[in-house]
Amino acid sequence: MSVLKKIFLIEADEGDQFFFKQALSQLKNALLVGTAKNGKQALKMIHISKSLPDLIFLDINMPVTNSVEFLKQQKLISTFKPIPIIVLAASLLNCEILQMLGAKSCIEKPLYFDVWRDKIAEVINTDFK
């Protein structure tokens, strides 16, 4: 039996948000509990939420508060610290730097829907503890 994972998505691009949500909707063990278009908005939304997400998917390029700033701020908030952050990127070029800042993994944004779904499913089924 798989455990239902609560997912929060931080993604500025509406097209990428759409494909992520579509892929997630095909997974039985995942529930999207929130979306934000930048890190600042996400921190605020997660802070006032009644329950924390199990995973946060974070776009690498965002306006206002980018992925690097989000990761730095997330570390400073004790209740957010244990939430695994998965970076979504067009290229994995800066993945190592983001992992040094606390990201658990990076996913290169695929061109095909089935690949999106399979990569998201793989991450959701990973135990990051």
- Identify the structural domains of the chain with CATH numbers, from first to last: 20-124 (3.40.50.2300)
Q: Give the pLDDT score at 95.
A: 85
The confidence score (pLDDT) of residue 41 equals 92
Identify residue 81 by its one-letter amino acid code: K
Give me the torsion for CA of 2, 16, 90, 25, rounded to 10°: 10
Grouped pLDDT means (10 residues each) for the chain, 129 residues: 86 92 93 93 88 93 85 84 90 84 90 89 88
Contact 69, 37 (CB under 8 A): no
The pTM of the full predicted model, rounded to 2 decimals, is 0.92
Residues in the chain: 129
User: DSSP letters along 78-121, please?
Assistant: TTTTTS-EEEEES-STTHHHHHHTT--EEEE--SSHHHHHHHHH
